[in-house]
Amino acid sequence: MNIKIIGTVVLASLLVSCEPSQSPLNKTHDITGEYVDIRVQTFSSQRQLNKFLKRKDGEEVEGLAQWAHPKGDLTKVKRCDIYVVEPNGSRDYGQMETWGHELMHCIYGSYHPEGQR
């Protein structure tokens, strides 16, 4: 009987620990379903990307999205530029994840929880 209880507790804790912790998206804009000019610039390496971006804070990034709002309307986006490393192949899931992440910035804006990336 005790083995069944211990087994159930262990199984339940594994199921809970496998659940990724998610925080809700904190969207600064949402252009779902809107037409927007998205331009993608690719680089051959992370080094080339960061060399091009020359960030003032010196932080290296895996990708970057920059968007422009029409004058006076922060709910719309007229253009979004994405800077990413070109994937090495059709199974370069790390780069594909970065591409998707940066596209989400175009759609939802600065959606990270405060202080997180």
* DSSP-based three-state secondary structure for 80: strand
Strands 63-68 and 79-85: antiparallel
pLDDT at 25: 82
pLDDT at 71: 92
> Cα–Cα distances in Å, from 107 out to 5, 12, 47?
47, 37, 26
Domain boundaries, the chain: 24-108
Asked if residue 113 has pLDDT above 90, the reply is: no
The mean pLDDT value for 17-21 works out to 49
The mean pLDDT value for 47-53 works out to 93
The mean pLDDT value for 21-30 works out to 80
In 3D space, the residue among 112, 114, 106, 33 whose CA is nearest the CA of residue 65 turns out to be 106
- Tens of pLDDT, residue by residue over 56-74, are 677 889 999 999 999 989 8
CA angle 17/19/24 to nearest 5° reads 130
For 38, the enclosing helix (H) or strand (E) is strand 37-43
pTM score, whole prediction: 0.75
